[in-house]
């Protein structure tokens, strides 16, 4: 491998981040009072912990909120982001993991607001842009980790092509660069980190890796409760020195300290949410309410003209096809089980549209796991007789993705896709 090839994947990361930043600046402002009202609707639900705690010192009664909502119009006209209890107090519907990851950028925005003589109220433009660029920061961390994960199993060419396809031809860019205050860009690095520390633990089962796996799982769960399935990644990953799945269970049986480290890390990761619920509701556990149709899922989430993942994000077809090219990989059972279960959960939620969204947004933060399957089929195609089809396909899908992004962000009605116009 020559020196140029050694830097291919770094170059790919640079291209992706440049494009994502350009897309962020392309949507730098709108007509909202605070420049770009990022912390609104669902994003408000994740963010509310921060101004409630650090500015208003009121995380239960929320007496401050109606006035701010009247100024910035954040809630969408109905405060569904909070659940009112019998005593009249509130507890937040959305969990606190994303707010924890937003915290450094909240304080950056708070300081900029002071320097620029803007209101230090948690919602003026310095806070909005701090959170939006914080989303890109966390995505960047995740992307760099994902690069390392892919290089464990694939060469520079395959890694570079996989990263470019994953990021530039999918709806991921919408939820990092435009709607970055949603949860997805903050959970993305958690999945990348889970993959990395799963690899490290299976190569060298140290307690610190087991502990980090637990913490990552805990933070993922208090970001979105359904991310509990992230634990299937380390649970079903094989030790690389053997094909016998029983080896892992025997190892854990003989090394109970590893399980203690995972459980301890997991408890530490979810502890902030438990303490919040105890403070606001009096109980360590609180049901925020969700409805699922596991026996009758919404297949239109994958195939429908409104949000269809395969329609609006056709690179997903390659991701799924990659499941059939993971033979003899140590991650085969782990990735396949996680991805299929994840898809099933996503298409079973009662609000199958996932609000105003481009394609199936609820899958975007778990793309690091799908990247391994995508890399397998990229490797097969790149090393085969049709290798030069990949660049052609990539250019076509990038054009399609950005055409659809423009359509979506222009406010054109749902159900239209430039993909349909090709036929």
Distance CA 345, CA 320 (A): 16
| Predicted confidence (pLDDT) at residue 281 exceeds the cutoff of 60 | yes
* pLDDT for res 422: 43
| Predicted confidence (pLDDT) at residue 35 exceeds the cutoff of 80 | no
| Predicted confidence (pLDDT) at residue 260 exceeds the cutoff of 80 | yes
- Alpha-carbon distances, residue 154 vs 149, 157, 401 (angstroms): 9, 8, 26
Tokens of 297: 């899922």
Which position has the higher pLDDT, 103 or 243? 103
DSSP state of 186: H
What percent of the chain has a predicted confidence (pLDDT) above 90? 82
Give per-residue pLDDT as tens, 167-198: 999 999 999 999 999 999 999 999 999 999 99
Q: What mean pLDDT is predicted for residues 241-253? A: 66
Q: What mean pLDDT is predicted for residues 106-133? A: 97
* pLDDT for res 410: 86
For 16, counting Cβ atoms within 10 Å of its Cβ (0-12 exposed, 13-18 middle, 19+ buried), the class is buried
| Predicted confidence (pLDDT) at residue 249 exceeds the cutoff of 70 | yes
* pLDDT for res 24: 94
| Predicted confidence (pLDDT) at residue 58 exceeds the cutoff of 70 | yes
Distance CA 248, CA 239 (A): 7
Q: pLDDT grade, residue 27 (50/70/90)? A: confident
* pLDDT for res 421: 42
| Predicted confidence (pLDDT) at residue 325 exceeds the cutoff of 70 | yes
Q: pLDDT grade, residue 418 (50/70/90)? A: very low
For 216, counting Cβ atoms within 10 Å of its Cβ (0-12 exposed, 13-18 middle, 19+ buried), the class is buried
Distance CA 313, CA 404 (A): 10
| Predicted confidence (pLDDT) at residue 334 exceeds the cutoff of 70 | yes
* pLDDT for res 29: 72
Distance CA 181, CA 35 (A): 14
Give per-residue pLDDT as tens, 384-407: 988 888 999 999 999 999 999 999
The helix (H) or strand (E) run that includes residue 84 is: strand 82-84
| Predicted confidence (pLDDT) at residue 416 exceeds the cutoff of 50 | no
Mean pLDDT value across the chain:
92
* Strand 82-84 relative to strand 90-92, pairing: antiparallel
Question: pTM of the predicted model, to two decimals?
Answer: 0.95
* pLDDT for res 238: 84
User: Within a 10 A sphere around the Cβ of 251, how many other Cβ atoms?
Assistant: 12
Lowest mean pLDDT among 45-59, 139-153, 357-371, 408-422: 408-422
């Amino acid at each position: 491998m020559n020196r140029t090839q050694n830097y291919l994947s770094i170059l790919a990361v640079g291209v992706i981040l440049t494009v994502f930043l350009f897309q962020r600046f392309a949507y730098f402002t709108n007509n909202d009072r605070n420049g770009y009202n990022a912390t609104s609707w669902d994003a408000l639900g994740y963010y509310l912990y921060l101004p409630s705690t650090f500015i208003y010192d009121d995380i239960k009664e929320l007496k401050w909120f109606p006035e701010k909502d009247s100024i910035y119009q954040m809630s969408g006209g109905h405060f569904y982001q909070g659940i009112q209890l019998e005593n009249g107090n509130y507890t937040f519907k959305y969990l606190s993991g994303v707010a924890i990851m937003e915290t450094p950028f909240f304080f950056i925005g708070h300081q900029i607001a002071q320097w620029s003589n803007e209101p230090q109220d948690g919602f003026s433009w310095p806070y909005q842009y701090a959170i939006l660029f914080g989303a890109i920061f966390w995505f960047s961390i995740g992307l760099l980790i994902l690069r390392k994960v892919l290089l464990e199993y694939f060469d520079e060419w395959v890694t570079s092509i996989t990263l470019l396809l994953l990021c530039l031809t999918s709806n991921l860019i919408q939820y990092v660069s435009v709607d970055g205050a949603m949860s997805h860009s903050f959970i993305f690095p958690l999945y990348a980190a889970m993959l990395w520390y799963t690899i490290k633990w299976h190569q060298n089962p140290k307690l610190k890796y087991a502990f980090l796996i637990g913490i990552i799982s805990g933070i993922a769960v208090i970001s979105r409760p359904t991310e509990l399935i992230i634990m299937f990644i380390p649970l079903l990953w094989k030790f690389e020195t053997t094909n016998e799945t029983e080896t892992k269970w025997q190892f854990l049986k003989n090394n109970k300290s590893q399980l203690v480290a995972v459980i301890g890390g997991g408890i530490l990761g979810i502890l902030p949410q438990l303490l919040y619920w105890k403070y606001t509701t009096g109980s360590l556990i609180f049901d925020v309410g969700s409805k699922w149709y596991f026996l009758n899922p919404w297949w239109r989430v994958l195939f429908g003209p409104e949000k269809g993942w395969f329609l609006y994000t056709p690179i997903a077809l390659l991701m799924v096809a990659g499941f059939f090219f993971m033979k003899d990989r140590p991650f085969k059972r782990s990735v396949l089980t996680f991805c299929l279960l994840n898809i099933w959960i996503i298409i079973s939620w009662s609000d199958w549209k996932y609000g105003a969204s481009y394609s199936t947004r609820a899958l975007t933060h778990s793309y690091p796991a799908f990247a391994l399957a995508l890399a397998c089929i990229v490797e097969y195609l790149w090393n085969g007789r049709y290798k030069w089809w990949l660049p052609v396909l990539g250019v076509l899908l990038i054009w399609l993705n950005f055409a659809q992004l423009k359509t979506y962000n222009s406010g054109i009605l749902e159900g239209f896709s430039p993909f349909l116009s090709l036929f």
